[in-house]
Amino acid sequence: MAFPSTRRVVITGLGVVAPNGIGKCAFWEACLAGRSGIRHITQFDASFLSTRIAGEVPDFAPEALGLTPEECTQLDRNTQFAVAAANLALQDACLSKNLTEEERDQMGVYMGTAMASNEEAERVWKQLTADGAQPLRDRDEVPISSTFMLYHSPAAAIAIHHHLHGPCTALSTGCSAGADAIGQAFWAIQEGRASRMLAGGSDSAICSGGLNVFNVMGAMSTRNEAPERASRPYDAGRDGFVMAEGAGVLLLEDRNLALARGAHIYAELLTFASNINAYHMTSLPKDGMPLQQLLLQVLEEAGITPADLDYINSHGSSTPANEPAETTAYKAVFGEQAYHIPISATKSMIGHTQGAASAIEAVVTALAVDQQILPPTINQEERDPQCDLDYVPNVARRSSVQIALTHSSGFGGVNSALLLAKPEWVDAQLAGVR
Amino acid sequence: MHAIPSPANQDSVNHPQRRVVITGIGAVAPNGIGKEAYWKATCKGVSGIKPVQRFSTADLPVQVAGEITDFSLDGVIDRKLAKRTDRVTHFALVAIHEALADAKLVLQEENPRRVGAVIASTLGGVEYVLSEFAAMLRDGPRAMSAYTAIAWLQVANVGQTSIRYGIQGYSKAPVNDLAGGLDALGMAAGAIRRGAAEIIITGGSEAMIHPFTFLVLARKGHIMAGADPNAYRPFDCRAAGLVMAEGAGICILEEYEHARRRGAPIYGEIVGYGQTNDAHALASAPSDGKYYARALKQALREGNIRPDEVGYVSADGRALPGADQGEAEALRLTFGERLAALPVSIPRTATGHSYAAAGALDAITALLALQHGCIPPTLNCEELDPRYGLDVVRGEGRPFSRPVVLLGGRSTGGANVAVAIRKI
């Protein structure tokens, strides 16, 4: 198990299914305009729950996104999001039609998901128990999707759709799952286990149990009267995260392959680092110590200083405890420089897409590096004195971005970070070293 | 000053020979809790598959399973934590407790940031969430426990492990259906190999014996319907599917030099890992063994293993004619003419298929087999189908002395995972 090469890994395709836009262009345009995708829940009657808002993906048309008729009927919504986002990423990379058999043998899929087919489980359980009124009994007329109880199906279904024969697995590390999948895929290419990987995350759990498990923890916003203003990371008025659904998939590619085919390179992956809190299943300690250690690890492994960091796409979940812990960690690690690094939270616009969140945030980070524009953190109205850094409030900003960090803190305590850079920056560094 | 972008690669340049060994094991299995009891039962072919005791199966399609009975949390976790976690995490924590003691590992003496956990599970705390969801339907949203999400999601196993033992390093919760546990071992070994951690608590845990899973998985043909405790018969002419089980298998993976420095007991080394995907359908493994063979060859190549060093293959044994055909074909593609003389066994016929725990338990079985020089038998394969051309170890265990065991696992949806373990 030695690594045969020191291959560089680049991002050459982006696919997004998000509450405020499907496809890279629509999504990015919405993010730059600061458009929220949070609305009143329409997918089920949420009137009995204390939270009745969420980031639903409106007008999701799987056929239009390349799913087969069988996939449209046999896959649960979460898996459909995953396949759709993967299709979009491959299209974006100009690889959807022309992969050879040899290339497909060298290409794999890693996907993160926290809730998998939970929505489907709820439907089937209710149908087999008459909404809980009767004991569980099989009823042949109740259809069961082929993905049900297959928590790895978002990854497997993408591999099946595109006949990809490389490594394929799912990760279920809560909100860090998408970043973990991307990080593991990055390593797989570095280690020569694959030449290309589709990697990201997906989730769809806007259903009564899916919401209520977090409601009873007091973790969710109840700002039901103003859905678009409910997700407000760093703002003094934040009162919990907003559940959302969606998927984000990136095409990671061995840089040599990308260069050989003249692919557009959004960014190069520099570092993946990950740790776990050993503190509590759902919260960071106040000083954000595990995040501090993670940030230090990223700087050290990449051989950069805080002054090199041009942008952070943060976890920013809009919970009272998360953002002060994050801010404290930034200040502890970056010192005075923390005030000069722009930080934005994508969850302010789309809510918390669970296992997809950190993957969608990686898409945003790649676009920020590519386009040299920072999307805003919206709903910044009243400053929380504990959160006094530059959160790119409300309005997108042009900025030079050579190196950008995205990090997430997952349910269960896993923290993961990905460091992205402009390929030209890496070339310059390598030239300098040599 | 800027370094070359990838520290891991730098690291692998600095430590080209970093090796990964297993220094502790813990087993919670239907035929034995604890490695001694588990090995005693497994090497003698004592089955743990019995009529289900936890609930009435009268109206269900399935009546038998590899169920954990006589299970105690005493001395491992207190009642408060037990109530806030699912059975799946109980199994994991008991197996971890055993494995850490077995490895003579004192975590207080280790750098917590260099110790991680990679534990696979398919359905997480399914019993906990279904019970709370039923309460919510019955009595309203406030009737659901605030601990539901914490107990349910697959990440609970590593989250609780981290809190309990204060470990802060690289930790993941892989999900790969029936092959999840074996995949976890490969993933954890890779992380140590590249320097992301020095010690990883890894394996799989599963507790999905529940009326709901029986209904759904039997309807979809993923598990067998019926009451026959001997019905799990891989490579048998009558093979018709698998029997579900529950349990946990945990291995302590450690960087070799680290293990040597502290004088740890060493069971063996993970020398190879391969993973490919059939990408055929969201169904059980296909009769085509092409991609599975590639995974097996990857693991052998990574470990620089000569075919004649392999003592036995711990096979997937899906026990469906198509999948069994595919596995036999993959083994033929991998070993060629040597296959006829290569022992193959599926010791988990004595426990049932414990999904994400299975691959990890198979690895534990392999380590104990290497230690005792005995290949545990495959049960219920009285009518071995000759067209597979396999030497399946049946009846009694068989002595062996070769240094390598090759483990294979396949999941619904096409993943093929191979792990090679070498005795040191």
Chain A hits for B415, CB-CB cut-off 8 Å, are 152, 156, 168-169
Of residues A131, A163, A430, nearest to B4 (C-beta): A430
Unique residue bearing structure tokens 């859905």: A227
Q: What is the 3-state secondary structure (H, E, C) of chain A?
A: CCCCCCCCEEEEEEEEEECCEECHHHHHHHHHCCCCCCEECCCCCCCCCCCCEEECCCCCCCHHHCCCHHHHHHCCHHHHHHHHHHHHHHHHCCCCCCCCHHHHHCEEEEEECCCCCHHHHHHHHHHHCCCCCCCCCCCCCCCCCCCCCCCCHHHHHHHHHHCCCCCEEEECCHHHHHHHHHHHHHHHHHCCCCCEEEEEEEECCCCHHHHHHHHCCCCECCCCCCHHHCCCCCECCCCCECEECEEEEEEEEEHHHHHHCCCCCCEEEEEEEEEECCCCCCCCCCCCHHHHHHHHHHHHHHCCCHHHCCEEECCCCCCCCHHHHHHHHHHHHHHHHHHHCCEECCHHHHCECHHHHHHHHHHHHHHHHHHCEECCECCCCCECCCCCCCCCECCCEECCCCEEEEEEECCCCEEEEEEEECHHHHHHHHHHHC
Residues 6+ apart with CB under 8 A from B157: B88, B89, B92, B117, B119, B121, B124, B173, B205
- Measured CA to CA, the distance from residue B383 to residue B370 in angstroms comes to 28
**B46/chain A closest Cα distance in angstroms:** 30
Chain B hits for A282, CB-CB cut-off 8 Å, are 150
**B341/chain A closest Cα distance in angstroms:** 27
Note whether B159 contacts A: Cβ–Cβ < 8 A.
Answer: yes
Chain A hits for B131, CB-CB cut-off 8 Å, are none
- Measured CA to CA, the distance from residue A396 to residue A375 in angstroms comes to 5
Note whether A289 contacts B: Cβ–Cβ < 8 A.
Answer: no
Residue in A168, A175, A207, A387 annotated catalytic: A175
Task: Tell me whether residues B196 and A114 touch, CB distance under 8 A.
Answer: no
Residues written for chain B: 424
Chain centre distance of CA B407: 10
The string of pLDDT tens digits covering residues A226-275 is 999 999 999 999 999 999 999 999 999 999 999 999 999 999 999 999 99
Chain A hits for B170, CB-CB cut-off 8 Å, are 274-276
- Measured CA to CA, the distance from residue A431 to residue A251 in angstroms comes to 26
| pLDDT tens-place values along chain A, 434 residues long | 333 347 999 999 999 999 999 999 999 999 999 999 999 999 999 999 999 999 999 999 999 999 999 999 999 999 999 999 999 999 999 999 889 999 999 999 999 999 888 888 999 999 999 999 999 999 989 998 888 889 999 999 999 999 999 999 999 999 999 999 999 999 999 999 999 999 999 999 999 999 999 999 999 999 999 999 999 999 999 999 999 999 999 999 999 999 999 999 999 999 999 999 999 888 889 999 999 999 999 999 999 999 999 999 999 999 999 999 999 999 999 999 999 999 999 999 999 999 999 999 999 999 999 999 999 999 999 999 999 999 999 999 999 999 999 999 988 999 999 999 999 999 999 888 65
Task: Tell me whether residues A208 and B415 touch, CB distance under 8 A.
Answer: no
Strands B404-410 and B310-314: parallel
pTM, to two decimals = 0.97
Active site residue A72: no
Disruptive mutation site among B13, B176, B288, B422 for chain A (greatest number of A CBs within 10 Å): B176
* Reported ipTM exceeds the 0.90 cut: yes
Note whether A300 contacts B: Cβ–Cβ < 8 A.
Answer: yes
Note whether B175 contacts A: Cβ–Cβ < 8 A.
Answer: yes
Note whether A137 contacts B: Cβ–Cβ < 8 A.
Answer: yes
| pLDDT tens-place values along chain B, 424 residues long | 343 334 333 444 444 579 999 999 999 999 999 999 999 999 999 999 999 999 999 999 999 999 999 899 999 999 999 999 999 999 999 999 999 999 999 999 999 999 999 999 999 999 999 999 999 999 999 999 999 999 999 999 999 999 999 999 999 999 999 999 999 999 999 999 999 999 999 999 999 999 999 999 999 999 999 999 999 999 999 999 999 999 999 999 999 999 999 999 999 999 999 999 999 999 888 899 999 999 999 999 999 999 999 999 999 999 999 999 999 999 999 999 999 999 999 999 999 999 999 999 999 999 999 999 999 999 999 999 999 999 999 999 999 999 999 999 999 989 999 999 999 9
Q: H or E element: which one contains B204?
A: strand B199-206
Active site residue A340: no
Note whether A164 contacts B: Cβ–Cβ < 8 A.
Answer: yes
3-state secondary structure of B224: coil
Sign of the alpha-carbon torsion through A15, A323, A183, A145: negative
Note whether A293 contacts B: Cβ–Cβ < 8 A.
Answer: yes
Task: Tell me whether residues A151 and B122 touch, CB distance under 8 A.
Answer: yes
The per-residue b/e assignment along A99-132, b for 16 or more CB within 10 angstroms, e otherwise, is: beeeebbbbbbbbbbbbbbbbbbbbbbbebbeee
Note whether A217 contacts B: Cβ–Cβ < 8 A.
Answer: yes
Of residues B148, B162, B279, nearest to A278 (C-beta): B162
Of residues B2, B113, B171, nearest to A414 (C-beta): B171
